[in-house]
Structure 1
Amino acid sequence: MQYSFSSTSCSLCLCLVFHLLIIFSTTTPTVAVVKLPPNVTVTAILAFGDSIIDPGNNNNIKTIIKCNHPPYGQDFMGGIPTGRFSNGRIPTDFLAQELSIKDYVPAYLDANLSPDDLLTGVSFASGAAGFDPLTSKVASVISLSQQLEHFKEYIEKVKQLVGVEKTNFILANTVYFVVAGSDDIANTYFGTPFRRFHYDIPSYTDLMLHSASSFIQELYGLGARRIAVFGAPPIGCVPSQRTLGGGIVRECAANYNEAAILFNSKLSRELDSLTQKLPNSRVVYIDIYTPLFDIIQNPAKYGTLPNLFYFLRL
């Protein structure tokens, strides 16, 4: 799905940083949620998933799912489209800046990556990817399994730059973001008949969950220890889904949102279980559904209506 994030999403960014802080501490902070504990080191940000955190990997593959053209990017880097599915920065850019790592997280497939880019983090994400392997295949984008292969390549490149010991230190102190599920629900399940022939919503969200859990465990096996996993957003409230499934008044499509809520409840429980199962790990569920749905239902709390409409448009 193609979301547009603008400066009005700063409140969402703070929500993400709050969840991020939970990765580093067993206590809940009461003040200054963007300030990390003094004994914590964050070396890099690495991102996997879909368009929400794809800064331009799709520019370099054969797919129609691209955003390297106007009006995308009109509020970022001089108004030149970068391939971000956004008018401006995306969540990983906000977080990299909040953590004082760098101003934005580049695409792994960017031909102009510098050694410092590699050492401080990149995104492997691909717009329209999903936990369901069929989702990426239908859209001809980079699947999560392929993103893991790119991560393996990345590890070897970092080893060549700084050696094995420093690479292991970087990997252990990186924050990993995983964002997927929207395209599975909207495009693969509701958008095509392929999965609905064999799955109802409960069984399809089980399929998504199994794939998500396997991916997290593979990521852990490659050295990841601090992993933040986004839940699915209120996908039924995206303009395209309101048009397709929201009736004559274009209300939020309830069945899409119900699928997202069901998946999120399963994902949250599974991530809690994985934290207990994987030694020295912090695997955190980030609730995106609740703050975004509140923005949609109570727009006056978050700024002017024109800004919010721009924030929510495709």
Structure 2
Amino acid sequence: MGAVAADRAGDAGASGTRGKVTITEIARQAGVSAPTVSRVVNGRADVSPSTRARVEDLLLRHGYRRRAAAPGTRAALLDLVFDGLDSPWAVEIIRGVEEAAHAAGAGTVVSAIHGRSGDAREWMRNLRARASDGVVLVTSALEPLLHEELRALGVPLVVVDPAGSPVLGIPAIGAANWSGGLAATEHLLSLGHRRIGLIAGPPRLLCSRARLDGYRAALEGAGVAPDEALVVPGDFHPESGFTGCNALLGLPEPPTAVFAAGDQMALGAIEALRRRGLRVPQDMSVVGFDDLPEVRWSAPPLTTVRQPLADMGTLAVRTVLRLARGEQPDSLRVELGTELVVRSSTAPPAP
């Protein structure tokens, strides 16, 4: 798969009932010349915004993709797409993707669509123009129409940490979030804690719901009735950990330990405790989830659940390249193991 001159949309592998369409036909429908359509396809700047939008709309509707180059004329090009890039978590995924892509001689384009339909459609237009060989979608959800467009273009897709239930037929790679939530909570229970707060992740995300279920399962397994007042919402950012911990401390009977479903929220919780003059772990134990590089240097170093973020990115690249070669993955759903890493932020509850 590759990118060279644009002359016949049908040669690019558009499938389904759309049929083949020439650049001339797209030009006729757009009311412009064929060279103008070629300039749009090749990303040239000398086209007015209104004309560009009209032509891109027709190219998208016809499932157009630039014709493939001869084998060996260029390296593969992969698209790595996030909902947002404002997290060290994303950096770890990128590290794994980049290492695997480099080893395979492939280039990587990183994008963020921020959950907005307009951003996603703009990304799709750019993807079509650069003739990407595969897409790795991270903790995001594409609207069904864009899934159809990828299918029509013949661009393989792999999802990492799917936002919702995995889409039928699309490979998904995640971590064992349920068992990670279970392990974090069981660790606190083993230290003697019985009132354990949870700062949860966004409920729209599958990983958040799995960690919450693991937390509840650990409590029930220990004969501790789950108290919904001890579960507060978060969004994986430090501010929500700070706010969530303050909410837990404001309860008539605060918890003696907190499980934050993401490391950044755990760091926010530690800051909330520090500002109240409370010590970790003497006054309250804190557990995170991710094992981001910075948490081993926090004060105190954070007990957390390690999920193999870089490995998830690496496996996603290997899977999407297999799909691009016409091979099928061994499994459509892969969960990599998580591991509890005990450091200094947890201890038995104070008398």
Q: TM-score, normalised by structure 1?
A: 0.32
Query: Which protein has the bigger helix share?
Result: 1
Bigger CA radius of gyration: 2
Identify which of structures 1 and 2 has the higher relative contact order when contacts are C-alpha pairs closer than 8 Å and 6+ apart.
1
